[in-house]
Chain A
Amino acid sequence: MSLVVYYSSATGNTHNFVERLSVRALRIERKGEPLILNEPYVLVIPTYADNEGGGAVPKAVIHFLNHVGNRALIRAVVAGGNRNFGKMYALSGAVVARKCSVPCLYCFELRGTDDDVCRVRLRLNKFWKQQC
């Protein structure tokens, strides 16, 4: 269990965060074969909102979630962002949570501190136990 699916842009912030979680993880790529899931997962994504909140969820993640099978298997979301963006901080987590009716478990800034990593690891464990 405990699969993480994530998206990370060229800065690699989210990739770095997920790597430090040390969990089984699959990356959504912008190009190439689309990723098709057959088991439940928690989605970890960054935020790219403009000042109106548009474009918060990366396009590649939208394409991934537009696949009905993938969407049926999402169980929760964890979002990255930067508090400097004010109300748009980690907005992608809130958007996906609302669209997919799943909880947003945690928000972290940039590549997350070690404390963020520990907390997310604990929450994921707890979350998957509750799901069983």
Chain B
Amino acid sequence: MAMSRSRSRRVKERRAREQKRIAVIVAGTASLLLAGAVLWLLHAPPRATAAIGGPFRLSASNGQIIDNRSFPGRFTLLYFGYTHCQDICPTTLAALAGALKLLGHDADRVQPLFVTVDPGRDTPTVLQMYLAKFTPQLIGLTGTPQQIAAIERAFHITSIVHRTAIGYDLDHSAVLYLMSPDGRFVAPIRAGETAPAMAATLARYLS
């Protein structure tokens, strides 16, 4: 009687040990799977970033033809806007000029580009006169409507013409793109950010 009771206790203990072992194995497998998933998410290239950017070839405000390989070893910062946009574009460009000043020597590592979404009005000469008011570092890019449409597609830029009582305006994406020297998308900057906020974002990648 006593023997069988102690055996049944042993059986019970063994069963408990087995259950514990199974629990440990299950928990271990689960955490390994979770860690794997986290690592995969961290290292897999985010689909959104892979799609932004691409080759382009446009007329620049400095009279040259500029393409995506014109600035070897340097980051580029692209802002899509137009000169007749009287609020957000000059506000953003003034902030950008301020940010470049705040960055000091680090600013040499980035070429700011203003790509017009209004090639009909923004000729290289108009862009040159306009951008020179903000900072001599800025280069303006324009082209045929087809060329502009192509770079807008490559950078996922929206620009929609809407008629007004006295002409037309363009609705356009409120974003600047920081691109790496090898042409990959690095980070977005929101249009209308303050100069210190822009400088802080740029410094993270340029210094």
- A-B interaction: no
